[in-house]
A and B are shown apart, each in its own frame.
Chain A
């Protein structure tokens, strides 16, 4: 697991400095070689360091601010490897910055120090003095056409190693290597699943028809999933990411479709008639609004299209199911008292209670993966639509967007750190992401036409 393979003999002229800011190292080949040796020393601990994860999370205060991280560019030898290293460094930086949970600090000038024995080691004193909490660095080599990235992570206070792991992959897919490391780092530091490896499905009218597309968490890897040339709406991925439920008009009316994501085969759930806005309760059940019995109520449907049971029975519209992580409770929209409000149904007791009381138009509930919050949208008197979060007990309503036209369709990242949503703040509806507290709002992807109704899910 250690990286003794890294240092072949030969010229060191192409070795890059740790980071552009470590200018003093740029001209010293010998010092660079020493750095590599230092890294070898650093990395000489087994993968079982992963077991320290729980301990680390325990000492990190809940709700603490951003994690102060120093990221060293992977050391590499040779032009090709150096180019890979630069790209990996960029991908890791962009990925970690995207999560919004890091404060990325440039490495200090004296990142390494020489001990009494002449051995160079990481200068944890320097790292601590610039406020770093975590240092991550490593080295890169090529082996049999594969790129091998060896990474080590330290808690700087106490110079404690908390992760050492080797990642290998193809040179034409360095992003996958970068995201694999980034996923481990975020999970190590937060104890939660990260956005890396997750996908967002959404609707776009780019082709002239509303079709469903997917992209990676950061807006890359755009893919068109449906080509029905009718109207496809409200995509929702099953928790395991293997199935996509959505509504489309290819039969002439809005109907429930379920796509197998592996082969993209689509099955129609036709026996239930008109269907609106599906939401998964588990991998085995999807809820949707059906009206074949006259009123618009929410039913649980199995992926094979058979009805499991009806779960609401109020007079009037019941819509937009979103379940608590354990599947025992369902947030939904009901117009049972006239205008749309969010309610919570306890599937065990059958009891329903109203969640939202502010305003006359509250829709689009989305239950967070941790279960502690529900995001929803409010249409304000001035026509703006804004995103709020509220605790399931109805307390702590917090407004996340304001003064930016329509902000709709909130959907949580698998880790619960972020929310993807639709906004018309720049005219056309586009996808945006923000931190769960509303900070750091920015466009997700550049794409023609309008994009809307994003749904974020984990796919491996």
Chain B
């Protein structure tokens, strides 16, 4: 299942490479796993779906831009998250009129003031990554909701993992 997306991923990354050619700065925090890879050598990122399903697309995300997810008390972009952001940047690149609002969200654990700050960092790191891939900063706004607007209402890791996200809304 994971391998089935590599073809699209490679294409997406090629396009991404094209976008980012205008930008000499490498994506923040990117390692070799997320660097643009040649088509014949699929990037070793784990999984990004080719459409509105899979990693960044669940019942809470209906637009063309997939959400990205985080570990507890972290705003770092894992390989999956970077791959999804590359896909989002690709879409933004080919839909030049589109602009997006990135909402930073947290799970209910921890304290709400800190989660408000953490959500802001999550939205900011997602935006920064896409901007470094060549999408103008002016097309991306961010807002943090901390733990104020959870997606999944449960009180276990299944819910928490869905709530630790940068949520993309097409404006």
Chain A residues within 8 Å of B, Cβ to Cβ: 210, 231, 233-234, 247, 252-254, 274, 276-277, 289, 291, 296, 317, 319-320, 333, 335, 339-340, 360-361, 363-364, 377, 379, 383, 385, 408-409, 452-453
Chain B: residues with Cβ within 8 Å of the partner, total of 17
Residue in B73, B121, B143, B148 whose beta carbon sits within 8 Å of that of A253 in the complex:
B143
Which B residues are CB-close (under 8 A) to A385?
A: 110-111
8 nearest A-B pairs in the assembled complex, by CB-CB distance: A277-B113, A317-B117, A363-B111, A363-B114, A276-B116, A253-B143, A319-B117, A320-B113
Q: Convert B82-110 into 0s and 1s, putting 1 for each residue whose CB lies closer than 8 angstroms to a CB of A.
A: 00000000000000000000000000011
B121 touches A379 (CB 8 A): no
Q: Name the residue in B73, B109, B111, B121 with the highest tally of chain A Cβ atoms < 10 Å from its Cβ.
A: B111
Given contacts A252-B143, A339-B73, are A233 and B118 in contact (CB under 8 A)? Answer: no
Chain A contacts for B143, CB-based, 8 A:
252-254
A-B contact pairs, 18 of them (CB 8 A): A210-B148, A233-B113, A234-B113, A252-B143, A253-B144, A274-B144, A276-B113, A289-B117, A291-B124, A317-B118, A317-B121, A319-B113, A319-B114, A320-B113, A333-B114, A340-B73, A379-B109, A409-B111
In the complex with contacts A233-B116, A291-B120, A296-B120, A383-B109 CB distance below 8 A: yes
Give Cα A296 to B144, complex, Å: 13
Which residues of A have CB within 8 Å of B145? 231
Instruction: Report if B50 contacts A (CB, 8 A).
Output: no
* Closest B residue by C-beta to A253: B143
- Which residues of B line the A interface, CB within 8 A? 73, 109-114, 116-118, 120-121, 124, 143-145, 148
Shortest Cβ distance from A334 into chain B, in angstroms? Answer: 10
| Beta-carbon nearest neighbor of A376 in chain B | B111
Contacts of A317 in B (CB 8 A): 114, 117-118, 121
Cβ contact within 8 Å between A296 and B117: yes
B111 / chain A contacts, CB cutoff of 8 Å? 363-364, 377, 379, 385, 408-409
Question: Which residues of A sit under 8 angstroms from B114, Cβ to Cβ?
Answer: 317, 319-320, 333, 335, 340, 363
Given the interface contacts A252-B143, A253-B143, A361-B73, does A276 sit within 8 Å of B109 by beta carbon?
no
Tell me, rounded to whole Å, the shortest Cβ–Cβ distance linking B29 to chain A: 14
Counting residue pairs across A and B whose Cβ atoms lie within 8 Å, the total is 64
Contact: B113 with A363, CB < 8 Å?
yes
Which chain B residue shows the least CB distance to A234?
B113
Q: Chain B residues with Cβ under 8 A from A340's Cβ?
A: 73, 114
Q: In the complex, which of the residues A247, A333, A363, A377 has the most CB atoms of chain B within 10 Å of its own CB atom?
A: A363
Closest chain B residue to A275, Cβ basis: B116
A339: chain B residues within 8 A (beta carbon): 73
Return the chain A residue nearest B116 by Cβ. A276
Contact B121 A231 (CB under 8 A): no
A289 to chain B: closest residue by CB: B117
Apart from A363-B114, A379-B111, list 4 A-B contacts with CB within 8 A. Answer: A277-B116, A289-B117, A339-B73, A383-B109
- The answer for the CA separation of A254 and B113 in the assembled complex, in Å, is 11
CA separation between A276 and B106, bound complex, in Å? Answer: 15
CB <8 Å contact, B120 and A452:
no
Complex CA–CA separation, A217 to B121 (angstroms): 37
Question: Shortest CB–CB separation between residue B100 and chain A, in angstroms?
Answer: 15
Residues in chain B near residue A252, CB distance under 8 A: 143
Known: A231-B148, A291-B120. A452 touches B112 (CB 8 A): yes
Give Cα A383–Cα B160 distance, bound, in whole angstroms.
13
Residues of B within 8 A of A452 (CB): 112
Give A289 to B144 CA distance when docked, in angstroms: 13
> A364 — which chain B residues lie within 8 A by C-beta?
111, 113
User: Which A residues are in CB contact (< 8 Å) with B117?
Assistant: 276, 289, 296, 317, 319
Q: Tell me the minimal C-beta distance from B103 to chain A in angstroms.
A: 10
CB neighbours (8 Å) of A333 from chain B are: 113-114
Cα-based distance from A253 to B148 in the complex (angstroms): 12
